[in-house]
Amino acid sequence: MTKPPFKVRTITAFVALEPFDFEGDGLERKIGRCSSLLRDVETRLSADGYEIQTLRVATNPFGEWLIPLNREEDISKSEMEVIVSRLEGLNSILGKYDINFCSLGPSLCPKHTTALCPFIVSFSPGRFSCSANIDACDVALATAAAKCVKLISSREKMEAHVNSNTIIGDGTHLDGGLGNFRFCTVSRVRSGIPFFPAAKAASEDGSIIKFALGLENGAYAGQLLKEAKSIVNVHKVFSENWRQELLPIQSICVNYANAANQIEYIGIDTSLNPSLHHDGSVARAIEYLDEVQSNFGQGSLSAAAAITTALQSIPDIKTTGYCGLMLPVLEDQRLSELAMVNETENNRIGIQKLLCISSVCGVGVDTVPVSGDVSEKNLSSLMLDVAALAGRWNKQLSCRVFPVPNQNAGEMTVFDSPYLCNSCVFEV
């Protein structure tokens, strides 16, 4: 058996929850069905040689099922007690089924963003993630999301905000500003993205469980772009090779869904997604193209556009999600190098460069470390810029930044995480 040239970063199950699921055994039955689906698909893919890294669950926007009256007003003490009870119940059931990643969807109003998103992220052991939906020119939600990001970056402020060490537990998932690994803003994002924290389920019949795949494929992207050599050849090389590699894994998923009851396979997110290894860098892969100047310079925008077009038009492959180019600074070794202070000012990667590339591809501004004292105003302005790009070009984009406590722009981060590399702190 030939080893597949990529790994499956996630099999994500999408389920719509409703308030009455928390009465009786409704919630456990839904999560149990998600677990069965995830394990069944994992077994089938593993048998064909695919390495599965994570199993995840994403729900519809949490305002539809977590908040008793689903209203955009201040949350009362009695309502907060219900919210805590529901989160504790969901957390416990997910733990029972050994599901360690669960996205609760986006907040849709400023008050929920500031009051509940930090609360959700704080839950130990860090199983929950969420997001805040921002439309172009939505200053109120951007301001609320910026407050949320700043709050999550400080464990001390988080503990005071949620006022419960029982919920935070040992809080290691919040240390060093890493709580923001589990929160982002989203703009024009549709249901069906398998990657976190932007993932959400559609608000529809909860009896149908859907699933999708997300890949880790930076090393394979490098192989293909070396073969292509030029932007001119990207579409042909990607179309032929990706189709050949994705048809078998698609067939397994389609056959499983067709034979199952009330299960729907919605596709593969074909996005180029890096690994932390040197050879797994997406930024390095793009630099293999002749037209891309050194240090991810001129030509990189054209390359990003060509790659994204190819990823979104692979013949005979059912796709979902971003289907774009992922350039997460703290998850791509080459990209993190390009942000170092030893690079010349003209060659260093900055937020404006990332925004520029986002105009022709996904995902947006992702895992970018910023100074711990960054202002809420600057953060909200950045979020509005991402939302403006998404709205103007009808693109699915997200913004995930990490204010790093006690660190300033130009200093090196010291994250100790199996999911992140280190880089220089960016200026916003």
Residue 299, pLDDT > 80, answer yes
DSSP string, 44-105: HHHHTTPPB--EEEEES-GGGTTSTT--SSPPPHHHHHHHHHHHHHHHHHHHHTT--EEEEE
Question: Is the backbone of residue 2 left (phi > 0), alpha (psi -120 to 50) or beta?
Answer: beta
The fraction of the chain above a pLDDT of 90, given in percent, is: 78
Shortest CA distance to 324 belongs to which of 279, 366, 296, 284?
A: 366
Residue 2, pLDDT > 70, answer yes
Residue 165, pLDDT > 50, answer no
What number is the average pLDDT over the span 327-341?
89
The whole-number pLDDT of residue 336 equals 92
The whole-number pLDDT of residue 186 equals 98
Residue 317, pLDDT > 60, answer yes
pLDDT category at 255 given cuts 50, 70, 90 is very high
- Which residues have CB under 8 Å from 346's CB, separation 6+? none
DSSP string, 260-274: SSSEEEEEEE--B--
Dist CA 228 CA 206 (whole Å): 44
DSSP state of 325: B
Residue 344, pLDDT > 60, answer no
pTM of the model: 0.95
pLDDT category at 173 given cuts 50, 70, 90 is confident
Give the three-state DSSP class for 156. Answer: helix
- Comparing 66-70, 75-79, 240-244, 358-362, the range with the smallest average pLDDT is 66-70
DSSP string, 23-41: STTHHHHHHHHHHHHHHHH
Residue 124, pLDDT > 60, answer yes
- Comparing 73-82, 148-157, 203-212, the range with the smallest average pLDDT is 73-82
Amino acid found at 108: L
The whole-number pLDDT of residue 71 equals 63
Place of tokens 């994500």: 12
The whole-number pLDDT of residue 169 equals 64
The whole-number pLDDT of residue 170 equals 65
Q: Between residues 340 and 224, which one has the greater pLDDT? A: 224
Mean confidence (pLDDT) of the chain: 92
